[in-house]
Structure formats: structure tokens, C-alpha cells
Amino acid sequence: MPDEPAEKPQGIPIKDAIRLKYQISQGITFGNTNMNAVEIEEFRKLTAEDYVRIRQEYCKWYHTPRSQFFLSALTLTFVAGAIILYHYNWGLLAVVSGSLAIVTYSKLCSRGGHAEGFVDGYDSGYEAGMNKALNLTDKDLAEIHEFGTDMKIDKSLLERLDNRDGSAG
């Protein structure tokens, strides 16, 4: 039959080829470290506990609970004043009091945005510092991302192949 090959192709099985590729990737290190791409990616990441700690440090540094309470009380006072003044037809003062309520409330809400910006800045600075400490260039970072993704895929694929072979036997 013309569609069938005359001989079976020679070579290593696909599973062994993937395992070999994964082992070679594990041996490739970057910067001035002995870490492979996946290890560097994990090393450079902040953990969930780090984010909680950073947010708590920001709250201690930026404002105290007393200032938070003061702004909340001031906002409620201005809102109450605006309602009372509006009820007694003091229109201009009601508008001024309502405007002050909006301003103090926006100040209160902006603190959450400041905290997010602080955490984002901390994260960026941490990452830049790690890159500099590990002597990683932009080219290294691109390769680390590529190799790291390939290694994660290869590891997942090998685990699935091992599970399939183990359950079949």
C-alpha cells in the first residue's frame, strides 16, 4: 500500500523527548544565579503574606485610626448639616455643606486608592531591585518568561503522561 511507510521511523519516544527537554531547561541558569527560569520567577514574586504586610505598613505610615475616625465624623456632620439646612430652606449654606461632605468623603475614599498605588509601586520597585540584584537584563527577562512557561507546560504534560501510563498498567 502506498500510504503506509516502508519502515517505522527511528528515534526516542515523545515522553522521553519531553522529559529530556525539561531536564535541559532545568539546567539553564540566568544572571548571576544558579536558578533556572521557574525558580527565578518564583523567587521574584511577592507572596500573599507580603501584600498583607505591605498594606498594614502603609496604613501605619500614612494615617492613624484617629484621622480615619475624624474624616468619617466630619463627613457625617457635613451631610447632617446639609440635610438640616436644606430642610429649613437655607439653600446656599446647604449647598456649601453638601459640597464639603462630598469633598471629605472623596478624601476618605482616596485613601484606598493611595494604598493600592503604594502596593503597586512597592511591587514594581521590588521587582526592579530583584532584577538588578540578580543581574538580569531585559533579554534575560524575556527568555526567563519563555523558558518558565515552557517548563511549566512540560512539567504538567509529563505528570499527565505519567498518570496515564500508571493508570493503564
Residue 136 in any domain: the answer is yes
pLDDT band at 169 (very low <50, low <70, confident <90, very high): very low
pLDDT over 80 (residue 18) = yes
What distance in Å separates the CA atoms of residue 68 and residue 76, rounded to the nearest whole number?
13
pLDDT digits (tens, 9 = 90+) for 123-160: 888 888 888 888 888 898 899 999 899 999 999 999 99
Residue 69 in any domain: the answer is yes
Cα 70 from chain centroid (whole Å) = 33
Residue 164 in any domain: the answer is no
pLDDT over 60 (residue 116) = yes
Residue 109 in any domain: the answer is yes
Whole-model pTM: value is 0.56
**How many domains is the chain partitioned into structurally?**
1
Residue 34 in any domain: the answer is no
Residue 26 in any domain: the answer is no
Q: What is the DSSP letter of 33?
A: S
pLDDT digits (tens, 9 = 90+) for 47-93: 888 888 887 887 777 666 666 677 778 888 888 888 877 777 777 77
Residue 91 in any domain: the answer is yes
Q: Any residues with CB less than 8 A from the CB of 168 and at least 6 apart, and which? A: none
Residues of the domain holding 113: 45-153
